């Protein structure tokens, strides 16, 4: 049926049948399908020219192709059904031209050839988009399993005879331009949130899919992917959600790309796990973009990777643009239903994982001044194959040296507390501390830096330094005394036993005394320095190599 000059005619509530392979051809006319009216097109469906306007408030059944230019307009709240049960049986159907909103949401009802409701009932399970760019949109809903459908249909945004391997190769885009959040406008899809769904990969958009977004946000479900395939083939529906807050994204498009590397330098996440697996090459990533290119607003990403056998891992996280972004330590035990919050701006979203914990999961570290020493302490929530901690000190916060070793429990999931007492400190001097944890594989990690200082005077000893420490020869004690004093120096081993006692006369001011450690066994000692005139005593810990 050719309608070249049909300007204001009404197709009313009686059925209008064309013959096999006949066409509906609107070359610039205004065509109105009233509410309750039904139009049956047994061939192809054409709509052209800037004056071509289809007001569909009823029902149009199309048994062939739908073709248009980028000038044709469509309005109304009716339904278009793509079905081939009477003619063109065994053939796929396609849509070409611009049955789409030509722009963002501002173009809806202004420069708009989109369908309102779209139903799919092709017996091959495919309706495809023939062309480049935004070929077809719906303003309300799409039903993947329309009336009398022998199988659930997919929308393919490319010629199915030359299907690209990846989403970036699909030329056309299908859109849901209803900004309402949720999955309710994608009717009879076959989304499964239980993991691999090979064999039921229908009812989705294969290729490029865009959605209008409400400025108030909500959960937007992207039922997209590549062609159906078996397990470990990285194909099929690759379901993902964007969970948005207040935003100005307008329209967000997405596709799935396999073999898209998301590796980044080795780092830690998920409360102390070393990231050692990146799923971009094995599986792929969701590539998302917004219409304006400058959209903003925080959101959460939730993914259900399908048709892939991931390695067993303890923790999983969503990555963005080949790095760890979003909310820190927002991870999960499985890639199925994995989510991560705190994103802003679109990009490439993949998954990464780990089963290797850091040697120590640090909960807290501190340095506290005491009467004559500084105590360094730390608490860890867990340890994995940890050998020991090296306690390191600096006087400038940059150059550190090891001043002690503290043995670790090793492997534990219970909280552990450690302390180290540093007696080899002077007063009114800032000291900076950190530890370096070392596991049995010699993997190391530094803690944050803490600092402390002893304030005031030690009375008879204004300053005392012991060096070198650790030592394997002579040990020097440098004292700055307030008055002339008789000084006693006792050396105690780790069991508290005295192994040496020496008295020296010191004068007010700087004094240096030497102790020979050649006869000492390797270990930790305490040097006790006492003013015999006043009975005042200070202690310093010494390590003999």
What would the pLDDT profile of 480-521 be if each residue is shown by its tens digit?
776 777 889 899 988 888 999 999 888 877 788 888 898 899
Range scoring the smallest mean pLDDT among 221-235, 441-455, 518-532? 221-235
- Which structural domains are found in the chain, ordered by start? 19-178 (no CATH), 195-201+224-357 (no CATH), 359-452 (2.60.40.10), 461-544 (2.60.40.2550)
Q: Which of 212-216, 297-301, 311-315, 507-511 has the lowest mean pLDDT?
A: 507-511
CB 466 within 8 A of CB 451: no
Portion of the chain with pLDDT greater than 90, in percent: 61
CA-to-CA separations, 534 to 78, 379, 511, in angstroms, rounded: 102, 39, 18
In this prediction, residue 179 carries a pLDDT of: 97
pLDDT bucket at 21, cuts 50 / 70 / 90: low
Torsion angles phi and psi, residue 168, rounded to 5: -65, -20
Phi, psi of 139 (to 5 degrees): -95, -10
Sequence-ordered alpha helix ranges (H) in 372-489: none
Which of residues 521 and 381 earns the better pLDDT score?
Answer: 521
Span 257-265, average pLDDT: 91
Distance of CA 68 to the CA centre of its chain: 41
- pTM equals 0.68
Distance between CA 449 and CA 396 in Å, rounded? Answer: 11
pLDDT (tens digit per residue) in 108-132 = 999 999 999 999 999 999 999 999 9
Of 30-39, 41-50, 411-420, give the lowest mean pLDDT range. Answer: 411-420
Check if the beta carbon of residue 155 is closer than 8 Å to that of residue 121.
Answer: no
Instruction: Determine the pLDDT at residue 136.
Output: 98
> Which among 523, 450, 532 has a CA at the least distance from the CA of 493?
523
Strands (E), 267-314: 268-269, 273-274, 277-278, 285-290, 298-304
**For residue 361, what are its two tokens?**
């999961």
pLDDT in tens, 238-252: 999 999 999 999 999
Give the pLDDT band (50/70/90) at residue 196. Answer: low
Tell me the C-alpha distance between 316 and 338, whole Å: 7
């Amino acid at each position: 049926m050719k309608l070249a000059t049909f300007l204001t005619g009404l197709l009313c509530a009686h059925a209008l049948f064309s013959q096999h392979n006949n066409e509906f051809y609107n070359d610039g006319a205004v065509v109105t399908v009233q509410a309750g009216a039904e139009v049956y097109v047994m061939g192809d469906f054409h709509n052209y020219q800037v004056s071509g306007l289809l007001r569909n408030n009823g029902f149009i059944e199309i048994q062939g192709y739908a073709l248009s230019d980028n000038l044709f307009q469509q309005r109304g709240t009716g339904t278009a059904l793509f079905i081939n049960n009477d003619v063109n049986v065994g053939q796929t159907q396609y849509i070409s031209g611009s049955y789409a909103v030509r722009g963002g949401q501002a173009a809806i009802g202004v420069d708009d050839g989109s369908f309102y409701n779209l139903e799919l009932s092709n017996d091959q399970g495919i309706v495809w988009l023939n062309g480049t760019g935004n070929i077809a949109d719906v303003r309300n809903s799409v039903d993947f399993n329309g009336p009398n459908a022998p199988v659930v249909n997919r929308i393919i945004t490319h010629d199915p005879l030359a299907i690209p391997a990846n989403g970036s190769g699909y030329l056309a885009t299908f859109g849901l331009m209803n900004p309402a959040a949720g999955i309710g406008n994608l009717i009879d899809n076959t989304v499964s949130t239980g993991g691999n769904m090979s064999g039921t990969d229908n009812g989705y958009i294969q290729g490029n899919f865009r959605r209008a977004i409400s400025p108030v946000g909500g959960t937007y479900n992207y039922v997209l992917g590549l062609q159906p395939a078996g397990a470990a083939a990285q194909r099929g529906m690759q379901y993902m959600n964007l969970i948005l807050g207040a935003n100005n994204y307008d329209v967000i498009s997405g596709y799935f790309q396999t073999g898209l590397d998301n590796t980044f330098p080795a780092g830690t996440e998920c409360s102390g796990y070393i990231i050692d697996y990146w799923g971009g090459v094995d599986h792929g990533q969701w590539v998302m973009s917004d219409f304006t290119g400058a959209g903003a607003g925080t959101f959460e990403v939730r993914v259900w990777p399908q048709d892939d056998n991931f390695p067993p891992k303890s923790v999983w996280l969503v990555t963005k643009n080949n790095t760890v972004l979003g909310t820190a330590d927002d991870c999960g035990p499985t890639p199925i239903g994995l989510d991560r919050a705190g994103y802003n701006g679109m990009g490439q979203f993949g998954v990464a994982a780990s089963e290797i914990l850091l040697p120590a999961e640090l909960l807290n570290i501190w340095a506290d001044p005491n009467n004559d020493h500084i105590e360094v302490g730390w608490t860890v929530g867990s340890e994995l194959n940890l050998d020991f901690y090296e306690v390191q000190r600096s006087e400038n916060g940059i150059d550190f040296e090891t001043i002690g070793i503290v043995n670790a429990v090793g492997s534990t999931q219970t909280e552990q507390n450690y302390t180290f007492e540093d007696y080899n400190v002077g007063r009114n001097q800032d000291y900076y501390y950190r530890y370096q944890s070392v596991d049995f594989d010699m993997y190391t990690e530094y803690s944050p830096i803490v600092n402390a200082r002893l304030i005031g005077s030690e009375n008879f000893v204004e300053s005392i330094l012991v060096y070198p420490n650790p030592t394997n020869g002579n040990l020097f004690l440098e004292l700055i005394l307030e008055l002339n004093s008789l000084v006693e120096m006792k050396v105690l081993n780790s069991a508290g036993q005295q192994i040496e006692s020496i008295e020296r006369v010191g004068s007010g001011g700087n004094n240096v005394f030497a102790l020979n450690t050649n006869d000492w066994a390797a270990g930790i000692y305490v040097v006790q320095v006492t003013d015999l005139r006043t009975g005042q005593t200070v202690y310093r810990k010494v390590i003999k190599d």
